[in-house]
Structure 1
Amino acid sequence: MAVSAVFWVMAAVFAVLKGKAAILISGFNTMPKEQREQYDREQMSRDMRNTLALWAAVSGAGGVLAYLFSSAGIAVISMIAVLILFFREVHLDEEKAFRKYKLK
């Protein structure tokens, strides 16, 4: 449940700051300013907000179900699901990571 709360707070930061929060995205913050201006920061922030909210919902549901059924196995399954979702979003190449946000 604590992990879920952290993800909800992070999602709220992206929701409140909108395009300004794009600088918090790993890899984007290390680009030169001229290069960052070529990307749709609003869409990046919306996608990051939605991704964090999904992670929060999955980990929160796992925590609640684990509590209700007194089963640590459910919590483990939800954390594995969050890790799978996380590693689907990880890209070592910044061009590949931000390609869909490039302004035409």
Structure 2
Amino acid sequence: MADLRLAGTVACAALGVLFCLLGGGFFLAGPKAALFVSGFGTLPPSERARYDTAALSRDYARQFLGWGVLLLAGAGASALWSAWAALLALAVWQVLFWRQVHWDPERAFERYDLKQK
């Protein structure tokens, strides 16, 4: 059981640090970071001009930081108490992650459309 506890702690800590770094990078880069959002960078420049890139990158930065804090909390709880804490944190992260996945770029970025504001 100690091996599972250690594996959960390391997995949550590694992902938590990664997402915190991504969130910080998105905050520091500002609107330029929107190009790194999946699907947004592949849009033609005329399409990209339709969207609020500052809001897009700010929301993704907050999302990454939220995921990072959740996973770091799971790592800490796993190290202190039980491996189940890491599994719970990873399960919650999976739910939050899959709620954000969109296969259609129109649907993925519709709330950032400048014409709707």
> Aligned partners of 2:83 and 2:89: how far apart in 1?
10
Q: Which residue of 2 aligns with 1:19?
A: 31
Per-residue deviation, 1:5: 0.3
1:25 & 1:57 partners in 2: Cα distance?
20
The whole-number CA distance in structure 2 between the counterparts of 1:58 and 1:16 is: 21
- 1:11-90 to 2 correspondences below 5 Å: 11-69=23-81, 71-90=82-101
Q: Which residue pairs with 1:7 in the alignment?
A: 19
Q: More relative contact order in 1 or in 2 (CA 8 Å, sep 6+)?
A: 2
Identify unmatched segments of 5+ residues in structure 1.
none
How far does residue 43 in structure 1 lie from its aligned partner after superposition? 0.1
* Cα offsets for 1:31-61 (capped at 9, x unmatched): 0111001100000001000100110011010
Deviant stretches of 4+, over 6 Å: none
Q: How high is the sequence identity, in percent, across the aligned residues?
A: 35
User: Which one has a bigger Cα radius of gyration?
Assistant: 2
Gaps of at least 5 residues in structure 2 are 1-12
Matched positions, count: 103
What is the rounded CA distance, in whole Å, between the counterparts of 1:97 and 1:87 in structure 2? Answer: 12
Superposition CA RMSD, Å: 0.6
